[in-house]
Structure 1
Amino acid sequence: MEPTATVLDLNQLRRSCSSCALHELCLPAGIDADDLNRLDAAVKDKRMLDRGAMLYREGDRFDALYVVRSGSLKSFVQNEAGDMQILAFHLPGEIIGFDALASNQHVSQAEALERSSICEQPYAHLQRVTSEVPALHRQLMRVISREVVEEHRHLMVMGRQQAQEQLATFLKSVADRHQRLQRDSTTLNLSMSRYDIANYLGLVVETVSRLFSRMEEMGVLEVNRKSVRILRPDLLAGLCRTGAMSKQKDAG
């Protein structure tokens, strides 16, 4: 039997943070009702973005951080010639907009990969709330730390020589993030295109397509367009370590 598709409930988008299905990811466990009401009052906007719509552009003034409630986005930079480098993909429960903290303006751009819903948290108000709610401040610092870790992981993946290891690491990262959302971590509906994946990993799109086919032949994945089913999580995890194991052998 085919799994039932999740239908976006527009009424749910109008509810408070306390009833949001993602609040456990965004907020610290055990936050009390009064503190939650303060945070909910700080939410300026709960908006919908169509596919291809921009959440912010490079040079936009920094006013707020954003929580992805549903859907997904990509953040990227572009040079004067229009060449794009994708920096990250953002899934539900994740906060974006940290790129503007240092200079008070965004140095990257964020675009919806599919129809997505976003919560806007005005930063000035958020600062006041976090100063009054220490648990929320600690959680925000953990989120920022997680973003830094993801950036470091991306740089490590980009620096690896084996393209298969790069793609395997990317797929495992998406699976791990699905698991954190309490979703099926073996069935991934990738909202990003093969071109986006290739750009993110520093590969050419033909290589990415070939690697998906190779992993299918190995029995690791089952691929149907943007739907990827992980048949052997153990083999996928092994592919993520091939580069490290090769370096150990060379050193020995």
Structure 2
Amino acid sequence: MVKSVTLRAAWSGEADCRNCSLRTSVLFAGLQEQAFERIHEPIDQFTLKPGNVLYHAGDRAEFLFTVRSGSLKLVQYLPDGSQRIVRIVRTTDVLGLEALLDERYQHEAVALHATEVCRFPARLVRDLGQDSPALHRELMARWQRALTEADAWLTELSTGSARQRVARLLLRLVRDRESSECYLFGREDMGAMLGVTTETASRTIAEFKRQSLLVETAPNLFLLDVPNLTRIAED
């Protein structure tokens, strides 16, 4: 698995889960102090550059990952060689849950932006989950959240006009955020997420800019007009 990313080169030290700034919202949020005492294996914390592959589809799934900052795309490749992005994972999301079932990774996970990730062995989570009802509940909640997200991508982002799809994607990027500001990614990726051509994605984004539905505040950083994008998404 590590062969796809030079993790050791990006190594930034062993994570301090007790004092993690995201501890209230990440996988180990419900662990008590005695449970932390059982964590003897290192939980690796490292940074991926845009385009780095965290794992490939078909790789043996030995680890779970928590996103501390940034975002990754989960990609499936079609028989004709084209790609379809099936989900975006962002801060506090957990990916690699298939490792809990001793399966292989189902997607290719690729960093969209500079992304900080914590990596922990699946066997550690399995062992803790057996003795910690809180962790077991959190695992089930994360799994349900992933299924809900996958359903939403199928129903919201693969139906309707291109304008509706782009509007829905933009709204999802700022959902549950305090600010309506977000980074956009490449139009090719956007097309692969929405099932439209790169040209259509580019044209729609350009149209939204002209209509001030997107206002660029820094390179590739935009403020969204949430009320009017919502109106487009729901038309």
Q: 1:54 to 1:12 in 2, by over 3 A?
A: closer
Query: C-alpha separation between the residues in 1 aligned to 2:49 and 2:128?
Result: 30
- Matched residues, number: 225
Query: C-alpha separation between the residues in 2 aligned to 1:58 and 1:28?
Result: 26
Q: 1:74 to 1:221 in 2, by over 3 A?
A: same
Give CA-to-partner distance per residue, 1:123-170, whole Å, 9 cap, x none.
Answer: 111111011111111111111111101100100124422111111111
Query: Which of 181, 190, 193 is equivalent to 1:197?
Result: 190
> Given residue 128 of structure 1, which amino acid in structure 2 is its aligned partner?
D
Query: C-alpha separation between the residues in 1 aligned to 2:158 and 2:80?
Result: 24
Query: C-alpha separation between the residues in 2 aligned to 1:100 and 1:198?
Result: 29
TM-score between the two structures when normalised by the length of structure 2 = 0.84
Query: C-alpha separation between the residues in 2 aligned to 1:198 and 1:164?
Result: 12
Helix, strand or coil at the partner of 2:47: strand
Query: C-alpha separation between the residues in 2 aligned to 1:157 and 1:53?
Result: 28
> Given residue 25 of structure 1, which amino acid in structure 2 is its aligned partner?
S
Give CA-to-partner distance per residue, 1:92-124, whole Å, 9 cap, x none.
Answer: 211111355567112221112233222112111
Higher helix share: 1
What percentage of residue pairs aligned between the two structures are identical?
Answer: 26
- Give the drift of 1:48: 2.6
> Given residue 197 of structure 2, which amino acid in structure 1 is its aligned partner?
V
> Given residue 181 of structure 2, which amino acid in structure 1 is its aligned partner?
T
> Given residue 108 of structure 1, which amino acid in structure 2 is its aligned partner?
H
> Given residue 26 of structure 2, which amino acid in structure 1 is its aligned partner?
C
2:35 aligns with: 35
TM-score between the two structures when normalised by the length of structure 1 = 0.79
> Given residue 120 of structure 1, which amino acid in structure 2 is its aligned partner?
R
Q: 1:43 to 1:82 in 2, by over 3 A?
A: farther
1:109 aligns with: 108
Q: 1:160 to 1:102 in 2, by over 3 A?
A: same
Q: 1:102 to 1:37 in 2, by over 3 A?
A: closer
